[in-house]
Amino acid sequence: MMQQLAQIAIVVRDYDEAIAFYTQKLQFTLLEDTVLSETKRWVRVAPKGSAGCGLLLAKAANGEQESRIGNQTGGRVFLFLHTDNFQLDFQRLVEQQVKIVRPPSVERYGTVAVFEDLYGNLWDLVEPARSPV
């Protein structure tokens, strides 16, 4: 038996503003944008070159869902974006004026910085430490 996470839903205020942030500021790839009804779309994005889990951008449909926008984890880091070139990706975040919450630091597990997405969800940008050979 094999299982894997296919995607993670993230509640957004507006499809188009979320697509713009993820594809322009984070340089993710828009995988799918399918209209399901007058108010609902199936929108998926993922980091360029990623073969793993992506994000399903889910527009809030009611007040309870709207209250979760930007705080789906109670203020904890929500998503972890791994990179093989921390300096380049961190510089791109700065150039795109993405809010940096915690500056880069070197930890035993790798180099990490915390940033916010357009709604305030916290992300770790991580270049994992290389395992000794």
- pLDDT values of the chain reduced to their tens digit, one per residue, 133 residues: 889 899 999 999 999 999 999 999 999 999 999 999 999 999 999 999 888 899 999 999 999 999 999 999 999 999 999 999 999 999 999 999 999 999 999 999 999 999 999 999 999 999 999 876 5
Domain locations along the chain: 1-69, 70-133
- Cα dihedral 24, 25, 27, 31, rounded to 10, equals -60
Q: Which residues contact 13 (CB under 8 A, 6 or more apart)?
A: 59, 60, 66, 69, 119
Can 1-69 and 70-133 be said to share one CATH topology? yes
**Which tokens in the block code for residue 119?**
């709604």
pTM (global) more than 0.85: yes
What does each C-alpha distance from 94 to 3, 46, 56, 113 come to in angstroms?
36, 20, 25, 11
User: What three-state secondary structure class fits 79?
Assistant: strand
- Looking at residue 75, the DSSP 8-state letter turns out to be T
In CATH, which of 3.10.180.10, 3.50.50.60, 3.40.1130.10, 3.40.1350.10 is domain 70-133?
Answer: 3.10.180.10
Q: Which CATH class is domain 1-69?
A: alpha beta
